[in-house]
Amino acid sequence: MSDKPVEEGKQQTAEQQRAEQAYESVSTQGEPVEGELETNDQNAAEQSDEDEVAKLKAALEEKEEELLRVHADMENLRRRAEKDIQSARKFALERFVEALLPVVDSLELGIDAASKEGATLEKIREGDEITLKMLIQTLEKHGVKSVDPMGEKFNPDQHQAMSVQPHEGDPDHVIGVMQKGYLLNERVVRPALVVVSKS
């Protein structure tokens, strides 16, 4: 009996074993081990956390810059408002003064004319009336109105009673004005000094 078939069987068995080992080696290399899977998951989670932190940092920096810009704008606005208020206080009467200057000019001309030869009382009076009219128009243009309440019902908000006198007419009415009152934009600057009737 020949040993050849036995040797061939052994060779086949050895070759099969080598082939199986090679296959197992290749298959185990292609499949990650359980520990490797956990490491890969941790790496992915860490990368995701780092990306999230980077996004949050960028958003925070953007909001901080925005806040600084808003703060700077508010500071500029506050400074501008302070400057405007100071200018308003300083030059609040500028337009009123400009409007009064022609009245001053008219008074000076009247005084100058009165000192010249040939000046009559009638001309001086005429000049004074023109100047007074200019002054009243200027005051009215700036919200000043006179209060001349002759014959009106006594109003304690705008009138100040200097005396009370018996009168045939209705009681509590103004029967004499000693001094006109004045309003500035409907607010009393000076009450009218009046004489009031009583029954």
Give domain status of residue 188, yes or no: yes
Give domain status of residue 106, yes or no: no
Give domain status of residue 192, yes or no: yes
Q: How does pLDDT run across 132-173, given as a tens digit for each residue?
A: 999 999 999 999 999 999 999 999 999 999 999 998 888 999
Give domain status of residue 166, yes or no: yes
Instruction: Taking the CA atoms of 98, 99, 102 and 104 in sequence, report the sign of the dihedral they define.
Output: negative
pTM value is: 0.56
Give domain status of residue 174, yes or no: yes
Q: What is the CATH number of the domain that holds 178?
A: 2.30.22.10
Q: What's the CA gap between 102 and 92, in Å, rounded?
A: 19
Q: Could you tell me the end-to-end alpha-carbon distance of the chain, in angstroms, rounded to an integer?
A: 167
**Structural domain boundaries, residue 190:** 144-199
HSE, side-chain direction, 13 A CA sphere, residue 157: 4
Give domain status of residue 72, yes or no: no
Q: How does pLDDT run across 118-132, given as a tens digit for each residue?
A: 888 898 899 899 999
Number of domains in the chain: 1
